[in-house]
């Protein structure tokens, strides 16, 4: 069941049916969802083939000017190789990611990130969602299924995108990096500490309302696009879990197979997720 989909690899085919059965036994009333945002609910690439994280989307727009792009690129060149390093201790990497994210948000403030800029950034539906994402969010809302979007991205952009499509519904909780705006809608500060790829499990307090809304829901559906995203399940209690990884780098396929119950090929859709909902609604 749900195992014969093009572009989807089931990590353990013998265990998969039992996981589905457990979800079916509690139906949709027993479901809760934790999902990453960038390259998980959003498409990994734009129609022009450009990366679509909230940061890279902003970078590629050039709305903050060439100097912002230059300084952001310098930060990327310095810290990206650290993020991907397999030689550093994770505590060291985490400290360096703190530095990177703080420096990046300071740049956003310095170069005039604003509500007006967000509107210009999102006009014309330039931020593309992964195929099936809007349908997925709509079905969760219809069924009152709580979803926590736990993201290292820019909360202001995520929230604006959801509002733009009428998807900022009461069942949806967001824990991401927010910029504070003054009365003119211009960024003056950001929340601390910042969430990055390696520290998402530290943000249980920001997820408190989600935890209260899901205390009687035993089945957790987890969606992510990095190996580290699997750890997001630590922010809530659960009896059963199904994790689905959206592979953005084919070189990491074996690591994703080890980490997730199902792995969706690069540029794949949310079909497997929506078909799972079909079986429990």
Query: Domain extents for the chain?
Result: 8-43+129-280, 54-123
Task: Please report the pLDDT score of residue 203 as a whole number.
Answer: 63
Burial 130-144 (b: 16+ CB within 10 A, else e): bebbbbbbebbbeee
Instruction: Evaluate if residue 207 carries a pLDDT over 90.
Output: no
- CATH architecture of the domain 54-123 equals Orthogonal Bundle (1.10)
Instruction: Evaluate if residue 120 carries a pLDDT over 70.
Output: yes
pLDDT tens, residue by residue, 121-143: 998 777 899 999 999 999 999 99
pTM of the predicted model as reported, rounded to 2 decimal places: 0.94
Task: Please report the pLDDT score of residue 45 as a whole number.
Answer: 83
- CATH architecture of the domain 8-43+129-280 equals 3-Layer(aba) Sandwich (3.40)
Same fold: 8-43+129-280 with 54-123? no
pLDDT tens, residue by residue, 222-245: 999 999 999 999 888 899 999 999
What average pLDDT score do residues 194-203 get?
86
Q: Which of 136, 173, 117 is nearest to 42 (CA)?
A: 136
Instruction: Evaluate if residue 248 carries a pLDDT over 60.
Output: yes
Percent of the chain with pLDDT over 70: 96
pLDDT tens, residue by residue, 7-35: 899 999 999 999 999 999 999 999 999 99
Task: Please report the pLDDT score of residue 204 as a whole number.
Answer: 56
Q: What is the 3-state secondary structure (H, E, C) of the chain?
A: CCCCCCCEEECCCCCHHHHHHHHHHHCHHHEEEEECCCCCCECCECCCCCECCHHHHHHHHCCCCHHHHHHHHHHHHHHHHHHCCCCCCHHHHHHHHHHHHHHHHHHHHHCCCEHHHHHHHHHHHCCCECCCHHHHHHHHHHCCCCEEEEEEEEHHHHHHHHHHCCCCCCCEEEEEECEEECCCCEEEEECCCCCCCCCHHHCCHHHHHHHHHCCCCCEEEEEECCHHHHHHHHHCCCCEEEEEEECCCHHHHHHHHHHCCEEECCCCCCHHHHHHHHHHC
Decide: 39 and 261 in contact? Cβ < 8 Å: no
What average pLDDT score do residues 177-196 get?
95
Instruction: Please give the Cα distance from 72 to 136 (Å, whole number).
Output: 33
Q: Which residues pair with 224 in a beta bridge?
A: 245
Instruction: Evaluate if residue 95 carries a pLDDT over 80.
Output: yes
Among 84-98, 125-139, 192-206, name the one with the lowest average pLDDT.
Answer: 192-206
């Amino acid at each position: 069941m749900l195992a014969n989909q093009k572009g989807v690899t089931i990590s353990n085919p013998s265990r998969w049916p039992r996981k589905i059965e457990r979800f079916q036994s509690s139906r949709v009333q027993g479901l809760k969802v934790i999902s990453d945002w960038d390259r998980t609910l959003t498409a990994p690439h734009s129609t022009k083939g450009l990366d679509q994280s909230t940061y890279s989307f902003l970078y590629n727009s050039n709305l903050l000017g060439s100097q912002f792009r230059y300084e952001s690129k310098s930060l990327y060149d310095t810290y990206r190789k650290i993020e991907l390093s397999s030689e550093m201790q994770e505590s060291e990497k985490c400290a360096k990611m703190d530095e990177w994210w703080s420096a990046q948000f300071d740049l956003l403030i310095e170069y005039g990130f604003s509500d007006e800029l967000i509107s210009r950034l999102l006009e014309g539906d330039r931020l593309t969602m992964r195929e099936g994402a809007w349908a997925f969010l709509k079905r969760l809302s219809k069924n009152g299924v709580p979803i926590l979007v736990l993201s290292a991205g820019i909360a202001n952009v995520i929230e604006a995108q959801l509002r733009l499509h009428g998807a900022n519904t009461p069942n949806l909780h967001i824990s991401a990096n927010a910029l504070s705006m003054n009365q003119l809608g211009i960024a003056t500060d950001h929340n601390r500490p910042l969430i990055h790829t390696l520290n998402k499990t530290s943000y249980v307090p920001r997820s408190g309302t989600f935890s209260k809304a899901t205390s009687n829901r035993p089945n957790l559906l987890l969606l992510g696009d990095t190996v580290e995203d699997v750890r997001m399940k630590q922010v809530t209690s659960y009896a059963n879990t199904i994790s689905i990884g959206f592979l953005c780098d084919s070189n990491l396929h074996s690591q994703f197979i080890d980490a997730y119950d199902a792995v969706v090929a690069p540029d794949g859709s949310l079909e497997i997720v929506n078909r799972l909902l079909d079986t429990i609604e």
